[in-house]
Structure 1
Amino acid sequence: MSQPRRQLNLNAFLFGTGHHEASWRLPESEPSSNLDFQHVLEIVQTAERGLLDSVFLADGYSGRSNKLEPFTQLAALASRTKHIGLIATVGTTYNEPFHVARKFASLDHISKGRAGWNIVTGSGSAAHNFGREEHPEHSLRYEEAEEFVEVAKRLWDSWEDDAVINDKEAGTRVIKDKVHTIDFKGKYYSVQGPLNISRPPQGYPVLVQAGSSESGKEFAAKVAEVIFTAHQTFENAQAFYTDVKARLLKYGRTADQLKILPGISPILADTVEQAREIENELFEYVNKQAAISRLSERLGIDLSNHPLDEPLSLVNVREIEEVNGNKSRHQLILDLIRDEQPTLKQLVNRLAGARGHFTFTGTPLQLADEIEKWFLNGAADGFNVMPQIYPSGLNIFVDKVIPELQNRGLFRTEYEGATLRENLGLTRPANIRYESNSIV
């Protein structure tokens, strides 16, 4: 019997008015849409109409992003959707495993098995909001995150799948012998358990990871089931894909147990010329001074007096070893400067499109060609779709790119299952009873 043909996995990254930093300044945009649930709901329903696997909300614990908290928003979206997965970003450094495990179990129950957890370690700017003097060192954050996820898994497993029986005649709701303490004592956490809610419908929410640093890749190979990643070129994406998939073997995992979804941020129109017009309009709205200030801070050099039309140099820039935040994004920018020698204006405009993700300007047919190339040639299992303008960018993707991918046999024509795991082709983890509850 022949194996079913491999299919693309697609996620829509929710982001207010769009992923271009100037999208909010377009005449048709509503800048307060981050707080407008109806706006978000319409985008998510469009993604579900397009049969996408999931939608994803980024989050952080500092700054002036002015957006809704993910669990609140996704729980509301769960009641107005039926199939699409709901992925929330939750950081490990400034949370506790019990709280996070309980919230994700709740979201998975509310959505009937559609929850996903984008695991991040958080940014340094959040440290002072949680009584800390400084952000933990990069590799230590991942070490702590690994233990955090292990505790969460054990809490989800603290209820056996058949622990709840609700036997009215016998007067028994829960079989006590099927709910267990975890008595976890690790390097960073000590948690007794059990969780105070039954095992999620999916066993665990789908575990997603978004770091592409060395620590991030190793963490993903050991823990993650989906990776959101950023690459500017097909060749870099292909190298990353090969590298991470090769790491799975030492953890007893196979290539199909981890889906790699690079970000792709399109501007689409019926003709290339029309798409370029939209792109140029967006560039005109970019606050160049603010963008140069952010770039100066990231690179550790003052670019305020650098001529816009002169190439950038890597002289005196902050090296990757000096970065204690998003190392992978920093390295991506360094690579862009080294490989392409862009002018300051070119780099500012490039990053404005999607903060370092692969940007695309053209027709739906051309984008389908690009997606097919990456998918069939070992660079991606699918894509994290990041329209530069919402909602119009997703509308054209769903109405014109999805049918083309379906015609090529690359994407589903109906949802395969009821849960996010089923639609991603991921197995439901078995309930585990641990012989030893300590890892140290």
Structure 2
Amino acid sequence: MKRKKVQFGVMLHGPGGHMNAWRSADVPSDASTNFEHYLSVTKRAEAAGFSFVFVADGLYINEKSIPHFLSRFEPLTILAALAPMTSRIGLVGTISTSYSEPFTVARQLASIDKMSGGRAGWNVVTSPLEGSADNFSKDKHPEHSLRYDIAEEHLEVVQGLWDSWEDDAFVRDAGNNQYFDKDKMHELNYEGDFFQVKGPLNIDRSNQGQPIIFQAGASKKGSGFAAKHADAVFTNGGTLKQAKDAYKDMKQKAVEAGRNGDDIKIFPVLSPIVGKTREAVRERYKEIQNLVTVEEALAYLGRYFDHHDFSQYDLDAPFPELGDIGKNSFQSTTDEIKRRAKEDDLTLREVALQETTRETPFMGTYEEVAETIITWIDEGAADGFVLTPHVLGELYDDFLNEVIPILVEKGYYDTAYETDTLRGELGLKFKENRYTQKIRV
């Protein structure tokens, strides 16, 4: 029986996933705006056969934000810079549907998709932080449910614009003075509640048809949106059981939305702490924990709850009752934090420190972590993982140099690329143009 190949992406999070990763001697302190650092991480991922790099983003900061979020590259700019300096790895970036125009997004992503030969992907987000509205001349931040209604239309427009030109529309026949076939150009003429867009888009399609759609919404409405539209979904992982339940649920929802379960790939977040021995792993974990103070941990926790001030509570009392605080921000994350705090009878101090450096099933020796990855694949908990090291330094290198070879040896990974496009690498079909499909039917 042919084994399922694990697929990996890596989060380009500046210095790393930890809020104070910038303090580590393993990375440049200015990593979030250091192009050579981004290029180095990406080149190493490509050499290891990773399917994609992923740039997260946010649209609002204040003095309590994660330090390396205060100054960081805009996703599409860094991906455009990386496109000609790479050849096979996918390039995925976050763009908000709540604070961007569909025509602009369609054009920007299509440009990166063309420049890279069909390697672009869009992480569709609705933007959780309420302060974002103040940066975009908006009276108020849309409610959670409304944000997904807007996202639905936004995505419909963008994907409609991506089909403005059939794949053979541009003839470019100089001898007959024909640049394009006008019958293969299509106006969208979209009229919705939030967007009215005529089209056509002024750029044609790429080798993969359309960029890949990624999504990470875990709320009821968010997961429904993902099941209907996403090609790939990022999940929080958690325990093996939680991951298996989330995997099964998302695949089932995709089927209920009229899709094939194999048409949507599930990528839990993977934040490994690895070492040659368990003692070395614990030492590394302590080093990462010590990058943050309890005061900083409280500020980090507050970010999920729309920058709620947790310093007003007793650190060693049970986690406070917060009511609806956080409901219109990172809804699924705040619900999970409150649930875990109540079930495990955790204090505020414990919750805050756990959130900055949470222990995961992927802490162990190189062999143990490789075996855990294999178990998650074999038991239907993941199609792949988005690697999010606490620090994008030695831990990242050790994963590439020590864990990946074990997966290769066991037949679960191949560093060679199978196709030239991100869609092909993820095992997804070429995205047919809707107008061509109608003709074929």
TM-score by length of 1: 0.92
Distance 2:204 2:272 in 1: 41
Give yes or no for contact 1:158–1:193 (8 Å, CA) kept in 2. yes
51-60 vs 342-351, greater mean Cα deviation: 342-351
Residue 201 of structure 1: how far off its partner (Å)? 2.3
- The answer to whether the Cα contact below 8 Å between 1:228 and 1:263 also exists between their aligned partners in 2 is yes
| Cα RMSD for the two superposed structures | 2.1
Structure 2 CA distance for partners of 1:296 and 1:429, relative to 1, 3 Å:
closer
Give yes or no for the alignment of 1:37 onto 2:35.
Answer: yes
Q: Which amino acid in structure 2 is aligned with residue 52 of structure 1?
A: F
From 179, 182, 186, the equivalent of 2:185 is 179
Match of 1:118 in 2: 123
Show the counterpart of 2:262. Answer: 256
CA distance in 2 between counterparts of 1:374 and 1:319 reads: 34
The amino acid of 1:23's aligned partner reads: A
Per-residue deviation, 1:335: 2.5
Paired AA for residue 42 in structure 2 = V
1:71-91 deviation line (CA, Å, top 9, x unaligned): 111111111111100001000
1:350 has 2:354 as partner: yes
Q: How far has the Cα of 1:359 moved from its partner? A: 6.5
The alpha-carbon deviation at position 352 of structure 1 amounts to 0.9
Gaps of 5+ in 1: none
Per-residue CA distance 1:91-149 (angstroms, 9 max, x = gap): 00000110000001000001001000000001322101111121111111111101111
**2:188 maps to 1:190:** no
Number of residue-to-residue matches in the alignment:
428
In structure 2, give the amino acid aligned to 1:329: T
Counterparts of residues 33-432 of structure 1 (less than 5 Å): 33-63=31-61, 65=69, 66-123=71-128, 124-295=130-301, 298=304, 302-307=310-315, 310=316, 312-313=318-319, 316-319=321-324, 323-353=327-357, 358=360, 360-432=362-434
Deviations 1:263-318 (A, max 9, x none): 011122211111211211222220211222443575667454524xx4634x5223
Identical-pair percentage: 37
The answer to whether the 8 A contact 2:304-2:330 is kept is no
Q: Is the 8 A contact 2:362 2:372 kept in 1?
A: no
TM-score, normalised on structure 2? 0.92
Structure 2: give runs of 5+ residues left out of the alignment.
Answer: 63-68
The letter for the 2-side match of 1:171 is N
Amino acid at match of 2:201: L
Shift of 1:358: 4.3
SS in 2 for 1:174: coil
**For the residues of structure 2 that align with 1:434 and 1:111, how far apart are their CA atoms?**
24
The one-letter code of the counterpart of 2:207 is P
Residues 302-350 of structure 1: per-residue CA shift (max 9 Å, x gap): 454524xx4634x522347x61111111122123212333344432232
Residues 361, 343 of structure 1: alpha-carbon distance in 2 compared, 3 angstrom cutoff: farther
Q: Deviations over 1:340-380 (max 9, x none)?
A: 333444322321126xx946332221111111121111211
User: What SS class does the counterpart of residue 367 from structure 1 fall into?
Assistant: helix
Give the secondary-structure state (helix, strand or coil) at the position aligned to 1:373: helix
